Structure formats: structure tokens, C-alpha cells
């Protein structure tokens, strides 16, 4: 998804959708960067430091899940605008079971 959003030619978007697309792309980049930072931090330092970071992984991923929720809202908004202006059917966002379970876990806490 990162590559697709990076390579997408924004000049082909109507001006009315550009702002939402840029915000969505920023959210996707932020999520990817945060996840990369978390996992990379678990590869450095002493064994005890790495172990401690792994124990707090879920808590540290919490911000990424919040940003993902905002990205889903932006994506839905874009799809609705596209559907209204150009026709077509909105697609359902699907995720892997791990992300779904994790999102539910965070929502319950």
C-alpha cells in the first residue's frame, strides 16, 4: 500500500479529493513508520532492553491503531465522494485476523 500511494499520480485527482488523499497517505506513512520503528528498536540494545521493548510492544503499537482508525475514516470518506461523483461501489476494507483481534483488544481496554 505504501508503494501504491507513493507512486499514485495525484495530478489525476480532482482538486476536491486531493486534501483527503494527502491526509490518508500521511496516515498510512505514519503507521508504517511507527511499526518499523517499534520492531527495529527491538533489534538493538542489550538482551534485557530488547526483551523489555518486546514486552511493551502492544502498548507501543496503540498509537498506530488509533491512526489506522482515522485512516479508515478518511478512506471511507474518499470512497463515498468517489461513489457520489463518479459512480461505482465502495469497497469493504479487509484486514488480517491479527490486526482485527488487536484492534478489538485495544478498544476494550
Cell reading at 68: 489506522
Contacts of 50 (CB under 8 A, 6+ apart): 42, 43, 44
Please determine, for residue 8, whether its predicted confidence score (pLDDT) is greater than 70. Answer: yes
pLDDT in tens, 29-85: 998 899 899 889 888 889 999 899 888 888 888 888 888 888 888 888 888 888 888
Top pLDDT among 69 and 105 is at 69
In this structure, are residues 10 and 21 in contact, taking their beta carbons and an 8 Å threshold?
Answer: yes
The confidence band for 106, taking pLDDT boundaries of 50, 70 and 90, is: low
Instruction: Write the pLDDT tens digit of every residue in 17-27.
Output: 899 899 999 99
Amino acid at each position: 500500500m505504501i508503494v501504491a500511494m507513493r507512486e499514485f499520480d495525484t495530478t489525476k485527482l480532482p482538486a476536491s479529493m486531493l486534501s483527503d488523499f494527502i491526509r490518508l497517505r500521511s496516515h498510512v506513512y505514519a503507521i508504517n513508520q511507527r511499526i518499523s520503528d517499534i520492531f527495529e528498536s527491538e533489534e538493538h540494545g542489550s538482551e534485557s532492553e530488547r526483551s523489555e521493548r518486546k514486552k511493551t510492544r502492544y502498548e507501543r503499537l496503540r498509537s498506530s491503531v488509533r491512526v489506522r482508525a482515522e485512516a479508515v475514516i478518511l478512506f471511507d470518506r474518499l470512497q463515498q465522494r468517489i461513489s457520489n461523483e463518479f459512480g461505482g461501489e465502495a469497497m469493504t476494507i479487509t484486514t488480517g485476523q491479527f490486526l482485527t483481534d488487536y484492534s478489538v483488544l485495544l478498544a476494550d481496554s
